[in-house]
Structure 1
Amino acid sequence: MSFILRETESTDLSSIAAIYADAVLTGTASYELVPPTAEEMASRFAAITGQGYPHIAATDQVGTVLGYAYASAFRTRPAYRWLVEDSIYLAPEAQGRGIGKALLRELIGRCTALGFRQMVAVIGGASPASVRLHAVCGFQMTGTLIGTGFKHGRWLDTVLMQLPLGEGNATAPDEMSYPGSLFSG
């Protein structure tokens, strides 16, 4: 099955909300217990893109959303402004087809082009598939937080992985080139 990667559009948000709802209800990647409403997902989308972070969708040839990925602030304190956290969610029927890898590679490229210096993956439930995906894309394991979430009747670990972007921490960033609006002013 072929797919297209493109900017997420507001018309994608109901499909994105459904994909995320499935992940919340059946998976461990998200530690949310109740799926957010479509309105809440639209608010989150507006906040992410309004701050200059990339948000991309994978669709089939007729426009059905198969998955999505975005980058956002890891933390809001100013010293973290060069670090982004990635998030990727796929529709169940899209899993295992290379779509997650394509989304992550595209997201890495966009974040690098924007001037971010590090990307971190916070992998809920220590999902082996997500750990493998991030490792294939060059992320290094940086740690495991034991028993950090309780969902589906069991304790879940959280894995942290990290990828340098561009020059990483080898050089100081150009303070004037920061792409996001989160820390401006």
Structure 2
Amino acid sequence: MSDTVLRPFAWSDVPAITRIYRHYVDHTAITFDTEAPDETAIAEKYAALTRLGHPLIIAERAGQVLGYAYASYYRPRAAYRFTCEDSLYLDPNETGKGLGRVLLTELLAQSKAFGFKQMLAVITADTANSIAIHEKFGFERVGYYKAVGYKFDRWHDIVHLQMAL
């Protein structure tokens, strides 16, 4: 990890983010998107996050994007403006090496500095590694929703976890 650099998002990251996200759309139920967005859609999403000033972190090594994390409003209504939801995606070749921990540490710090007071994680229930890393950081399970997403010909449950920042 010592050669991994965390830095802000740059527009040149859009192809790598699109590639990484496509893997999770096509092969996992980590996201409930069923069709991977193209680079234009990813650029539009990140333009909105950038305009809002929300934390958006890129992890790279030797110029290669290894993963990314961001925090965005949990819901669009004004009363939710101090509550964010985290998102963290790693290149599939980088999982299990501690990069998620590094990104989440920085995301928590930047989210607090931004002014968010609560962070929620919405995680597919059978994604034990994602749930475990959040719990190691002090997130608590606050909700469990059964059969709310249908992907790959089966129903998926989700877990809500929460942490005060």
- The TM-score bracket by the shorter chain reads over 0.9
Q: Distance in 1 between matches of 2:140 and 2:50?
A: 27
Q: Which residue of 1 aligns with 2:102?
A: 102
Q: Which residue of 1 aligns with 2:24?
A: 23
Q: Which residue of 2 aligns with 1:34?
A: 35
Q: Which residue of 1 aligns with 2:53?
A: 52
Query: C-alpha deviations, 1:18-52, integer Å up to 9, x for none?
Result: 00000000011100000000110000000111111
Q: Which residue of 2 aligns with 1:71?
A: 71
| Aligned-CA RMSD value | 1.0
Q: Which residue of 1 aligns with 2:161?
A: 161
Letter in 2 for 1:7: P
Alignment identity in percent? 40
**For structure 2, which runs of at least 5 residues remain unmatched after alignment?**
none
Kept in 2: contact 1:19–1:89 (CA 8 A): yes
Query: C-alpha deviations, 1:130-155, integer Å up to 9, x for none?
Result: 10111111111111100010111111
1:119 to partner: Cα distance: 0.3
Q: Which residue of 2 aligns with 1:178?
A: none
Q: Which runs of 4+ in 1 moved over 6 A?
A: none
Query: C-alpha deviations, 1:71-129, integer Å up to 9, x for none?
Result: 10100111111001000001110100111111111000001112210000011354111
Q: Which residue of 2 aligns with 1:93?
A: 93
**What is the TM-score with the length of structure 1 in the denominator?**
0.86
Letter in 1 for 2:103: L
Kept in 1: contact 2:20–2:90 (CA 8 A): yes
Question: Structure 1's 125 and 20: CA in aligned 2 closer, same or farther, altered over 3 A?
Answer: farther
Q: Distance in 2 between matches of 1:124 and 1:78?
A: 27
Kept in 2: contact 1:148–1:158 (CA 8 A): yes
What is the aligned residue count? 164
Indicate the structure (1 or 2) with the bigger Cα radius of gyration.
Answer: 1
